């Protein structure tokens, strides 16, 4: 997800005890997928936590929000660390931190422990994201962009669905998934010790820890153009990952965790498939099709909510998932070319601040509003706001296309 600067490669022949480039590529991909699966694993458990500890929907969205905010801060502060101390120590350190977060989940019996676990998990995931993206780029510059785009979405889908199946059919529903993740991450941490360092290191790490957020003058217009759709896509994801399972139970009348997990799986797997199949499209075409898919998908989903139709609810979610995937990728591919190489780090920081704030802040506000209005009215207003944002994006792209034609 994060870009890495071009650097001199260290020949793998000088490191015979390390993994090959090919093996390193797939190990990086597996670790990235596991991090994302772990991040979505608590989602199907939220309803169980609420029933057991009797907290409100607002508290639930706060638990969700602290993860996104801590991930963002870690990405901004620690995102370039692997350029200075190497990919391997950052990846191994992030895995150790995430194992500690899983232990906290395993021991959690209060909301405060749940928040602490999500906070630590966010730091670990933010720390790992850019290092893994850079490691993938070091291993294979041709295949890494697709892996960086698809692996996180597949991981999110598998984490939510896998956890919901375990909760539904396996013993110790609030513990087993975290035991399995601890075992998996421990194995990956050991394997990561064999990763080769394929890029040169740089000096000045303490200066690099200061976040650089800047938008070049030429990039402002493009950022404002893609902002409505990018915000809508991330806000859609934030709602599904926090209140989505509760809404699914409301629509289907089934309070089984597997229903909420299937909902999140539907959104994220259709996003992954759309990005994989349509990745060769021009960015402008991605944005237009993504906006239309998001608008129509959300509208159909809301129709399913009001009619109590499970078919419409899941159909709309799958169509909205296409908008989620293409909206994010189209926005990223539209924005990156307008900045010079030395400006991209600051621009990406601004882009991710906007995206992650859209991921957590609207969902937290929706959780608070649910306490006053009820879940279904909040979902309808929330969906209407997303449709309005996507419509604004379409109008902006239409004006841009018209100006190009005139020029």
Residue 340: the pLDDT is 77
Tell me the average pLDDT across 80-103. 91
User: What's the pLDDT at 146?
Assistant: 83
pLDDT confidence band for 2 (50 / 70 / 90) = very low
Say yes or no: 169 and 254 in one domain: no
* % the chain with pLDDT above 90: 54
How far are the Cα atoms of 91, 225, 388 from residue 284, in angstroms, in the given order? 35, 11, 19
Residue 42 lies in a domain: yes
Which has more confidence, 402 or 64? Answer: 64
Q: Note whether 44 and 168 are same-domain residues.
A: yes
* Same-domain check for residues 217 and 191: no
Q: What is the CATH number of the domain that holds 237?
A: 1.20.1250.20
Query: Residue 335: which pLDDT band, with cuts at 50, 70 and 90?
Result: confident
Residue 185 sits in the same domain as residue 92: yes
Q: Is there a domain that residue 146 lies in?
A: yes
Total number of domains in the chain: 2
pLDDT confidence of residue 342: 63
Is 41 inside a domain boundary? yes
- What would the mean pLDDT of 152-164 be, rounded to a whole number? 92
pLDDT of residue 15: 52
Confidence of residue 198 (pLDDT cuts 50, 70, 90): confident
Which residue, 210, 241, 270, sits at the end of a domain?
A: 210
1 falls within a domain = no
On whether both 250 and 120 belong to a single domain, the answer is no
Structure confidence at residue 12 (pLDDT): 41
- Final residue in a domain of this structure, among 194, 210, 226: 210
Residues 167 and 258 in one domain: no
pLDDT at position 197 is 82
Evaluate if residue 7 carries a pLDDT over 70. no
Residue 2 lies in a domain: no
pLDDT at 16 over 80: no
- Does the CA dihedral 277-283-289-290 come out positive or negative? positive
Burial of 107 (0-12, 13-18, 19+ CB in 10 A): exposed
Domain boundary among 175, 210, 245: 210
Tell me what pLDDT residue 402 has: 65
Q: What share of the chain is helix, strand, coil (3-state, %, to 5)?
A: 80, 0, 20
Are 50 and 125 in a shared domain?
A: yes
Is residue 405 scored above 60 in pLDDT?
A: yes
User: Per the structure block, which two tokens stand in for 356?
Assistant: 């992650």
The per-residue pLDDT for 248 is 93
Question: Residue 233 in contact with residue 328, Cβ under 8 Å?
Answer: yes
- In this prediction the pTM is 0.84
Does residue 246 share a domain with residue 309? yes
pLDDT reported for residue 204: 65
CA-based nearest residue to 153, from 288, 257, 35: 35
Domain range spanning residue 261?
212-401
Evaluate whether 301 touches 239 at the Cβ level (below 8 Å). Answer: no
Residue 81 has pLDDT above 90, yes or no: no
Q: Do residues 145 and 217 share a domain?
A: no
Instruction: Please report whether residue 18 resides in a domain.
Output: yes
Mark whether 48 and 148 lie in a shared domain.
yes
| For the chain, counts of helices (H) and of strands (E) | 16, 0
Q: In this structure, are 237 and 355 located in the same domain? A: yes
CA distance 231 to 290: 13
- Across the range 176-199, mean pLDDT stands at 92
Domain for residue 4, yes or no?
no
Query: For residue 320, is pLDDT > 50?
Result: yes
336 inside domain: yes
- Report the alpha-carbon distance of residue 275 to residue 402 in Å, rounded: 27
Q: For 214-263, how does the pLDDT look when each residue is reduced to its tens digit (9 = 90+)?
A: 788 888 988 999 999 999 999 999 999 999 999 999 999 988 888 989 99
Co-location of 105 and 179 in the same domain: yes
Average model confidence (pLDDT) across the chain = 87
């Amino acid at each position: 997800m994060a870009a890495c600067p071009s650097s001199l490669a260290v020949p793998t022949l000088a490191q015979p005890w390390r993994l090959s480039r090919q093996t390193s590529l797939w190990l990086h991909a597996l670790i990235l997928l596991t991090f994302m699966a772990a991040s979505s694993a608590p989602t199907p458990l939220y309803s169980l936590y609420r029933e057991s500890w009797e907290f409100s929907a607002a508290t639930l969205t706060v638990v969700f929000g602290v993860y996104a905010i801590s991930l963002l801060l870690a990405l901004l502060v620690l995102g370039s660390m692997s350029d200075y101390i190497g990919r391997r120590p950052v990846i191994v350190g992030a895995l150790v931190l995430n194992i500690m977060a899983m232990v906290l989940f395993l021991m959690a019996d209060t909301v405060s422990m749940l928040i602490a676990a999500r906070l630590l998990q966010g730091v670990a995931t933010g720390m790992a994201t850019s290092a893994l993206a850079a490691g993938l780029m070091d291993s294979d510059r041709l295949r890494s962009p697709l892996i960086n785009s698809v692996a996180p979405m597949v991981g999110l889908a598998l984490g939510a669905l896998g956890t919901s199946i375990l909760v539904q059919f396996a013993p110790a529903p609030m513990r087993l998934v975290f035991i399995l993740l601890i075992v998996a991450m421990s194995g990956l941490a050991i394997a990561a010790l064999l990763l080769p360092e394929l890029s040169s290191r740089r000096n000045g790490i303490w200066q690099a820890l200061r976040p650089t957020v800047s938008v070049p003058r030429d990039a402002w217009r493009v950022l404002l153009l893609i902002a409505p759709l990018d915000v809508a896509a991330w806000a859609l994801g934030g709602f599904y990952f926090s209140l989505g399972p509760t809404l699914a139970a409301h629509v289907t009348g089934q309070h089984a965790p597997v229903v909420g997990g299937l909902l999140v799986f539907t959104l994220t797997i259709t996003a992954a498939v759309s990005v994989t199949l349509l990745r060769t499209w021009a960015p402008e075409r991605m944005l237009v099709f993504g906006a239309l898919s998001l608008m129509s998908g959300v509208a159909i989903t809301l129709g399913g909510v009001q009619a109590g139709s499970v078919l419409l609810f899941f159909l709309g979610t799958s169509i909205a998932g296409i908008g989620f995937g293409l909206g994010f990728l189209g926005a990223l591919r539209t924005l990156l070319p307008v900045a010079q190489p030395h400006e991209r780090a600051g621009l990406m920081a601004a882009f991710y601040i906007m995206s992650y704030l859209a991921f957590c802040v609207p969902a937290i506000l929706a959780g608070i509003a649910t306490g006053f209005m009820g879940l279904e009215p909040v979902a309808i207003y929330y969906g209407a706001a997303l449709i309005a944002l996507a419509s604004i994006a379409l109008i902006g792209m239409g004006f841009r296309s018209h100006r190009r034609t005139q020029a």
